[in-house]
Amino acid sequence: MSKLSVKEESGCRRLLTMLPKDDLLALKDTVTNRLIAVESAEEAVQAIITYSQDAEELLKRKKVHRDVIFKYLANEGVAMPPNAQKYNLVRRTLELWSSEENTTQVQPVQNWGPQRFWQDVRLRLLLHAGEQRVEEFNGAELVSRRLHALVGEERLLFCPNLEGLGLKCVSSPHGFVLVAVAGTIHRDSVWLGIFEQAFGLIRSPLDSNRWKIKFVNVKVEAQSAITDRHLPVITYDSNELLSLCN
């Protein structure tokens, strides 16, 4: 019988509901050796959980496809490189489930809002979707609202490419830290395009010396506008990043 922890069982249940019904039923037959009959997807999920030896065994099953685990992690707020192999996704999922038991002891994360920005912060959005469009916003309140709308109202999921050439960080002699990250954009299970984002941070001596965002530059290319089919990478060099401070 199943040796899944409470957290693993809850996570497996959410993940299994993402499988197509044919794959779900085939997986149920494999796990139960065709000895358990079910009449619904819910019963199939329960049978799979009950008769799986452990979470790792279940995740490694052929019918639990790589793309399903990737989407599950994205839904849980865990961004993985788009080219991540299945074994890496399985490992990260197991880490997530084992760490969830300790999340209640972590200090609460400060809510998103204008307090994360300098009052004179600026945001520049460069959008390529057949034609080019530029949006610019100034001030902590407007910038905070626009960025929040991207992931809230527009339901966009930004998945950074944290391997290879998808991340760059430099610092200026004046205390600026410049970070650039590239990745893919999704809405639900649909890949929409790629992005490249650069932002600058500097400490605020009036707010417990916390890091706050001074500017944000975001370039977005819709899938239809992409000509280079390589994985998203940073196009800024270090000098170009530092010039954004000016």
From first to last of its 246 residues, the chain has per-residue pLDDT tens of 557 888 888 889 999 999 999 999 999 999 999 988 988 898 999 899 989 989 999 999 999 999 999 888 887 777 777 788 899 999 989 988 887 544 444 744 457 789 999 999 999 999 887 788 899 999 999 999 888 888 877 888 888 877 668 888 888 887 889 999 988 888 776 788 889 999 999 988 888 888 899 999 999 888 776 666 556 788 888 888 888 877
Structural domain span for residue 153: 114-243
- Asked whether residue 70 is domain-assigned, the answer is yes
- Asked whether residue 20 is domain-assigned, the answer is yes
Question: Which of these, 52, 49, 51, lies nearest to 15 by C-alpha position?
Answer: 49
Residues 76 and 124 in one domain: no
Residues 135 and 186 in one domain: yes
Residues 206 and 230 in one domain: yes
Residues 140 and 72 in one domain: no
pTM, two decimals, is 0.55
Give pLDDT, residue 23. Answer: 94
- Asked whether residue 237 is domain-assigned, the answer is yes
Contacts of 123 (CB under 8 A, 6+ apart): 135, 136, 137, 138, 142, 143, 146, 147, 215, 216, 217, 218
Q: Which of 85, 104, 123 is the last residue of a domain?
A: 104
Q: Which of 104, 133, 161 is the last residue of a domain?
A: 104
Bridge partners for 136 per DSSP: 124
Cα within 13 Å of Cα(214), Cβ side: 15
Residues 154 and 80 in one domain: no
Residues 72 and 120 in one domain: no
- Asked whether residue 90 is domain-assigned, the answer is yes
**Two tokens, residue 190:** 């649909």
Q: Which of 74, 104, 134 is the last residue of a domain?
A: 104
- Asked whether residue 1 is domain-assigned, the answer is no
Tokens 């000098």 — which residue?
Answer: 239
Residues 160 and 235 in one domain: yes
Residues 76 and 135 in one domain: no
Residues 55 and 175 in one domain: no
Query: What is the distance between the alpha carbons of residues 90 and 30, in angstroms, rounded to a whole number?
Result: 19
Give pLDDT, residue 145. Answer: 87
Residues 237 and 118 in one domain: yes
Query: What is the distance between the alpha carbons of residues 191 and 78, in angstroms, rounded to a whole number?
Result: 16
- Asked whether residue 121 is domain-assigned, the answer is yes
Bridge partners for 126 per DSSP: 134, 219
Alpha helices in 81-184 (DSSP H): 86-99, 140-151
Query: What is the distance between the alpha carbons of residues 180 and 185, in angstroms, rounded to a whole number?
Result: 16
- Asked whether residue 203 is domain-assigned, the answer is yes
Residues 100 and 118 in one domain: no
Query: What is the distance between the alpha carbons of residues 238 and 242, in angstroms, rounded to a whole number?
Result: 6
- Asked whether residue 68 is domain-assigned, the answer is yes
Residues 89 and 124 in one domain: no
Total domains in the chain come to 2
Give pLDDT, residue 153. Answer: 76
Q: Integer distance in angstroms from the first to the last C-alpha of the chain?
A: 63
